[in-house]
Structure 1
């Protein structure tokens, strides 16, 4: 579920991951760098949703000392792909007890730059709701954060809202204040795992350019 902490202009966002990684008893097998990248993905999307840009990343590593470097590299890869610069890193690792499963949390601290009323925009779903191994097997269906970053920079996307475990319908109602109409081919109640899809808001006159930019897996929202 999406959470954020607002401290004046400062925004604190976080996501965690347990039982996903390279340890023998992990439920989902995935490279450690990729695990951290997806945790950071959620925290970054929540920063963007709050009109903020991250200034610092805190990594809480429960997997062990050797995983630290791989986790940091995964987070840095995400930041590089999205053009997010000048971010400081800190955190800690569990080194006293050898854990049987992987566990991390990624926290981002940023500063709010803008705020736009959701009701002034036309809204779309971008990406498909995926969870577990489908996140790795159906990468082409994930909302592309590089494209999102480009669309934000160019003004195509004015606001966004990440979708989490409660699904598109739940998040759309939180954002827009009412139920949305069914979307063909999409389960509005399905978990979107590490925010594999997002709600994006654009000015009505930018609709054609928006669809052209994202090309696929973008669906208009009707109330």
Structure 2
């Protein structure tokens, strides 16, 4: 498990934040606020799945101003629409007293753990590492959230482990895996979880290859 906090009674808290990315003139990366919220929520959702949980409530921390709130909410809703799931209730607060020069948000998800399967699995990497503007210009290479969710529901994927700024090699090390991948940059940042490590049931590997298609490869 990575950035998840386990609470009593099987509840799980995960969060991700973003600063200097958005629609303000002084932002370092200029993209829509909707996109910023989408990817922050994507990371937190991946962390929920890594903990064997799925979110039941969302807290949005908006430091960008009142006019940005609705755009952030739309980005969050878009993510859940992508996996054809109802968006949990969104609550939170906005910094409205002070005008900030750069955009900043945090998205926190509260989820409920499910019982893990005891079946052993084989680890695969899915989605190419992308960071910054690559997330937009090479979006066809990043892990498809809907495919991951479908595979979790069907039992095809037994475990999910998102890759962020530390890169594939470091996340494999945390899992105790020897990382051998030809043609992959295993030390590059994967930005907002554009790459994910998936534990696949051994008897469903061929099915998984067909399901995920491109940019899906066994780690060892």
Matches within 5 A, 1:25-174: 25-85=26-86, 87-116=88-117, 120-174=120-174
What's the offset of the Cα at 1:4?
1.1
The answer on whether the counterparts of 1:124 and 1:201 sit within 8 Å (CA) in structure 2 is yes
Query: Quick check: 1:196 aligned with 2:201?
Result: no
CA spacing shift, 1:28–1:49, aligned 2, 3 Å:
same
What's the offset of the Cα at 1:116?
4.1
What's the offset of the Cα at 1:85?
2.3
CA spacing shift, 1:65–1:86, aligned 2, 3 Å:
closer
Mapped partners of 1:33, 1:144: distance in 2: 18
Number of paired residues?
Answer: 219
Mapped partners of 1:112, 1:66: distance in 2: 35
The answer on whether the counterparts of 2:157 and 2:200 sit within 8 Å (CA) in structure 1 is yes
Runs of 5+ unmatched residues, structure 2? none
Q: What does residue 23 of structure 1 align with?
A: 24
Q: What does residue 4 of structure 2 align with?
A: 4
Runs of 5+ unmatched residues, structure 1? none
Mapped partners of 1:115, 1:122: distance in 2: 15
CA-atom RMSD in angstroms: 1.4
Q: What does residue 217 of structure 1 align with?
A: 215
What's the offset of the Cα at 1:155?
1.4
The 3-state SS of whatever aligns with 1:158 is strand
After superposition, the C-alpha distances for 1:55-88 in whole angstroms (9 at most, x for unaligned) are 0000000000000000001001101111332611
Q: TM-score, normalised by structure 1?
A: 0.95
Mapped partners of 1:114, 1:190: distance in 2: 33
